Amino acid sequence: MDSEPRPALAGPDESAAAETEAVEPPEPPSTILPRLFPATVKERERGASFPQSERSRTFRRRFFPSATAIHWNDWRWQVQHRIRDLAELARIIRLSAEERAAVARHSGPLPIGITPYYASLLSETDPAQPLRRTHIPIEGEYLTSPGESGDPLGEDHHSPVPGLVHRYPDRVLFLATGFCSTYCRYCTRSRMMGGGEMSFSLRQWERAIAYIEAHGEIRDVLLSGGDPLTIATEKLEWLLARLRAIRHVEFLRIGTKVPVVLPQRITRDLTRMLRRYHPLWMSIHFTHPDELTLEVAESTARLADAGIPLGSQTVLLKGINDSVPVMRSLMHGLLKLRVRPYYLYQCDPIRGSAHFRTSVAKGLEIIEGLRGHTTGYAVPHFVIDAPGGGGKIPLLPDYVLGREEDTVVLRNYEGRIYRYPDM
């Protein structure tokens, strides 16, 4: 593969026709968005196809003056105008000396790639801003610390055919593409992202499908990558239809960050297609409350309205979201967008990630700060994906203190002690 592969817009056989989705008719008023973002009402009254926040509009006019609102709301325009190198980054952000040096020396997989929309959320002046830290490299990315590796989850050892990970008996991970519209610097699969060690092709999809067809114990297929929602709608539909046709596959899941970094991709065409393949679930990768914008509220509303149960996945990151107030704000915001907080991951020991990793105790402290103090739905499962391929291991603060004769001694969220009869 080239150092930066073609976008997965065309799907793996590179023959997809461009999607045709012009300006969409206005939707009936949403019950949720106007309350969260009053500006939505005005947008809809103007017949806009996708809402655009004041921040996005200002950013577009300043840095992409020839782009119209229609360009901006076209997900293909967003992909084609990704910020990908030092010159483009320096045009929109005052880079620190460290960022500048780290970006300049980058080569190989996990390239720099940020959609203009997501770039509009980055601080122009503050290198410590959470979203900026997760998407612009610093020198720490080039340091390998003890315990780190390129494939910390041992996925390559559980891969019966390229692009398929079969770690748990009844489910598989289907890596559909190595392309993301926006690359996170802590990506667990950085080795294969954006021109990494693995290529993706229709032939590979066929082999993975054949493996699933031949294994009747597989009842759950998780499509991930890279980001499956960067694949052209018709190609993605081809894949979903093939998987749905396998009798023993009970349901499909998609893991994605597109609704957050490229919300304009959640077109009516896409949701109309997705709803044909229920039961279909979606896990959306969120990092910080600053991501919960008007545009993201629209993308998640469209997916939820298509009947897709939405869950969140968040990686715990040092100095970015590793505090109870930040995590609570994110989880509360997700519930308002109809996204159920699902997993909080301890950061995998991927090579060059030490500057992102917190202690395990920090994750437990956050869970303890949420559990009992807020709605149960707002508390994700805190897990470590065991290095080497042991799967997800849930971690909980110690609420069971021990036994006393026929009782279990328990501690509640306030630290009070209770005894429960347990004969």
Residue ranges in 64-145 assigned as alpha helix (H): 69-72, 75-80, 86-92, 97-105, 116-119, 130-135
Distance in angstroms (rounded) separating the CA atoms of residues 319 and 203: 42
Using the rule CB under 6 A, is 231 a contact of ligand SF4?
no
Task: Say whether residue 183 binds ligand SF4 (CB under 6 A).
Answer: yes
Instruction: Point out which span in 10-18, 151-159, 183-191, 393-401 binds ligand SF4 (CB under 6 A).
Output: 183-191
Question: Considering beta carbons, is residue 69 or 79 the nearer one to ligand SF4?
Answer: 79
Q: How far is the CB of 187 from ligand SF4 (least distance, A)?
A: 3
With tokens 């390998």, the residue in question is 144
Written as one string, the DSSP assignment of 202-218 is HHHHHHHHHHHHH-TT-
Among the options 168, 377, 399, 418, which is catalytic? 168
Residues 6+ apart with CB under 8 A from 413: 368, 371, 372, 373
Question: Is 384 exposed, middle or buried, given 0-12, 13-18 or 19+ CB atoms closer than 10 A?
Answer: middle
State yes or no: is 100 an active-site residue: no
What percent of the residues of the chain are helix, what percent strand, and what percent coil, each to the nearest 5? 40, 15, 45
Cβ at position 118, least distance to ligand SF4 in Å: 11
**347 binding ligand SF4? (CB under 6 A):** no
Q: Which residue in the shown chain puts its C-beta closest to ligand SF4?
A: 187
**193 scored as a contact of ligand SF4 (CB under 6 A):** yes
Residue 120 or 230: which CB sits closer to ligand SF4? 230
The reply on whether position 119 binds ligand SF4 by CB under 6 A is: no
Site string (38-77) toward ligand SF4, x via CB under 6 A: ----------------------------------------
For 350, which DSSP code?
B
Residue 285 binds ligand SF4, judged by CB under 6 A:
yes
Backbone angles phi, psi at 284, to 5 degrees: -110, 135
- What Cα–Cα distance (Å) separates residue 397 from each residue in 229, 368, 404? 36, 6, 20
- Binder among 226, 263, 289, 349 for ligand SF4 (CB under 6 A): 226
344 scored as a contact of ligand SF4 (CB under 6 A): no
The residues in 252-281 that bind ligand SF4, with binding defined as CB under 6 A, are 257
Give the integer Cα–Cα distance in Å for 186 and 356. 7
Task: Tell me which residues are annotated as active site.
Answer: 167-168, 171, 180, 184, 187, 189, 348, 385, 392
